[in-house]
Copies of this chain bind each other. A is one copy, B any other.
Amino acid sequence: MAKKIKKMSKTNLKAEVKSLRRKADKLRRKVGKAATSVPAAPAVSPLAPARMPTLPVVAGVEFASGMAGVRYKGRVDVMLARLCPGTQMAGVFTRSATRAAPVLDCEEKIALTDDGQGAAIIVNAGNANAFTGAAGQAAVDAITGAVGQVVGVPQSRVFSSSTGVIGEPLPHERITAVLDDLAAGLDPAGLADAARAIMTTDTFPKGASGLVEIEGETVTIAGIAKGSGMIAPDMATMLVYLFTDARIARDPLQKILSRLTGPTFNSITVDGDTSTSDTLLLAATGQSKAPEISDLRGRPAKDFAAALERVMLDLAHQVVRDGEGATKFVEVAVTGAENDADARKVAMAIANSPLVKTAIAGEDPNWGRVVMAVGKSGARADRDLLTIRFGDILVAEKGWRAENYTEDAAAAYMTRPELVIGVDLGLGRGKSTVWTCDLTHRYIDINADYRS
């Protein structure tokens, strides 16, 4: 027990101060060390872009965001988009067997061609309206019906998404209660705010845009996304909304979107878990002065698709950069497989391996785990033809560690925030590139006791 201060002599007091100062220093070092081993939650992912890009206005669409208090209090959690008559809609949805009510509802509505009614999108964060039985569809009906009335489009043209906790009934009346306010606030410049409204565990809002010239006229593309955990194909992200003023019929629009989803949103993985709510919607308002895109093999279609793919890949990468607990952005580039499907198997086996991901978190160039992941992938592989690179560093070839490989060089490389793991199987021309992040203590922190 500590000595009574009152009874201590001056000499003893001096000794006590000295000893206490030493103890305090020691404890401070301990606290510092502990703080290093479990870093505090960063407000924003260390891999986030420096700032959200300025998003251009897309003619024919307006946005509004608001606080419905679905689950979170005091934060924007609902967004509304109104699309002008003539807008064509395309979509890609999760193939989960337990997909949520709004996803099932969107799937039914997406194939319709717009013949002048316009459309609307309503999204809430905080509750996914997933695994909510018959009440789930009833909530979707209540919301889409009310949105249709407020913005003046038929219910069959109102698309809804919900993201957040699974299995809780969605308090849809909280959303319908704010629709009049949302409709009154619709603004062509409201897309960036909408990106904030759809966040759950995201640490930054995600937006991207692109312009493309078609026969001298500009076509604008802008989009937003949310997602940071439960991220894996298919679909690789939870919610993505893309808007363009291109003039294009529904079928070619859907064809382009479906084709571009593979190398973008379906080529990212954070934890290999797939959401029940994944939704990707692309709305083309037709308000650009550029001529209609009709022939998919023509230059205009190709230029449009290339610009759209850049926007989609940008958003997909932002989702990985916001991967729960991520400190490393990792590209896994597989070449030389017997075919593309095999290359993808290998890339995903590496990107989803907890042992590879924890090694990256520890900045450990543990390439043996890459060999392990190649081996377990199910793809054809020959140990003696395999080449592994970390960035430009040749790590392994001919069935063994490369002759000039040094652990020091590889360890220095692993300290970078952005890494490339290159694997060549030496068998054929199949290739696949996927993007992932590392697996850290923060992922456990976020998910060991989280209800979005």
B379 with A443: CB separation less than 8 A: no
A367 with B444: CB separation less than 8 A: no
Copies of this chain, complex-wide, total 2
A12 to chain B, nearest CB (A): 9
Specify which chain B residues have a CB less than 8 angstroms from the CB of A384 in the assembled complex.
133
A358 to chain B, nearest CB (A): 4
A43 lies within 8 A of chain B by Cβ: no
Q: Closest chain B residue to A354 by CB distance?
A: B271
B97 with A364: CB separation less than 8 A: no
B97 with A383: CB separation less than 8 A: yes
Specify which chain B residues have a CB less than 8 angstroms from the CB of A131 in the assembled complex.
368, 371, 383, 396, 399-401
Looking at the complex, which of A18-26, A49-57, A190-198, A257-265 is the stretch in contact with chain B?
A18-26
A250 lies within 8 A of chain B by Cβ: no
A14 with B18: CB separation less than 8 A: no
Specify which chain B residues have a CB less than 8 angstroms from the CB of A96 in the assembled complex.
372, 375-376
Interface size on A, residues (CB 8 A): 91
A275 lies within 8 A of chain B by Cβ: yes
A240 to chain B, nearest CB (A): 18
Q: Fill in one digit per residue for A434-451: 1 if any B CB lies within 8 Å of its CB, else 0.
A: 000001110110011111
Q: Fill in one digit per residue for A392-421: 1 if any B CB lies within 8 Å of its CB, else 0.
A: 000010111100000000000000000000
A409 to chain B, nearest CB (A): 15
A359 to B450, CA, bound (A): 8
Specify which chain B residues have a CB less than 8 angstroms from the CB of A37 in the assembled complex.
34, 38
A177 lies within 8 A of chain B by Cβ: no
A98 with B383: CB separation less than 8 A: yes
A362 with B448: CB separation less than 8 A: yes
Q: Closest chain B residue to A35 by CB distance?
A: B34
Q: Fill in one digit per residue for A4-36: 1 if any B CB lies within 8 Å of its CB, else 0.
A: 011010100110111011011001101100110
A2 lies within 8 A of chain B by Cβ: yes
Q: Fill in one digit per residue for A310-354: 1 if any B CB lies within 8 Å of its CB, else 0.
A: 000000000000000000000000000000000000000000111
Q: Fill in one digit per residue for A352-387: 1 if any B CB lies within 8 Å of its CB, else 0.
A: 111100110111101111011111110111111010
A443 with B14: CB separation less than 8 A: no
B372 with A273: CB separation less than 8 A: yes
Q: Fill in one digit per residue for A160-200: 1 if any B CB lies within 8 Å of its CB, else 0.
A: 00000111100000000000000000000000000000000
B362 with A447: CB separation less than 8 A: yes
A99 with B375: CB separation less than 8 A: yes
A168 to B368, CA, bound (A): 9
A448 with B364: CB separation less than 8 A: yes
Q: Closest chain B residue to A367 by CB distance?
A: B167
Specify which chain B residues have a CB less than 8 angstroms from the CB of A20 in the assembled complex.
17, 20-21, 24
A145 to B247, CA, bound (A): 75
Q: Closest chain B residue to A438 by CB distance?
A: B448
Specify which chain B residues have a CB less than 8 angstroms from the CB of A443 in the assembled complex.
354, 358
Given A94-B375, A273-B372, A354-B354, 14 extra CB contacts under 8 A: A5-B14, A17-B20, A20-B24, A30-B31, A97-B383, A131-B396, A133-B398, A133-B399, A167-B367, A168-B401, A272-B352, A273-B355, A274-B372, A274-B376
What are 18 A-B pairs with beta-carbon distances under 8 A? A10-B10, A13-B13, A20-B20, A23-B24, A37-B38, A96-B372, A96-B376, A97-B377, A97-B383, A131-B368, A131-B396, A133-B399, A133-B400, A167-B400, A272-B353, A273-B376, A358-B448, A363-B449
Interfacial residues, chain A to chain B (CB-CB below 8 A): 2, 5-6, 8, 10, 13-14, 16-18, 20-21, 23-24, 27-28, 30-31, 34-35, 37-38, 94, 96-99, 128, 130-136, 165-168, 229-230, 232, 271-276, 352-355, 358-359, 361-364, 366-369, 371-377, 379-384, 386, 396, 398-401, 439-441, 443-444, 447-451
Per CB-CB distance, the 3 closest pairs between chain A and chain B, nearest first, are A166-B368, A34-B34, A362-B448
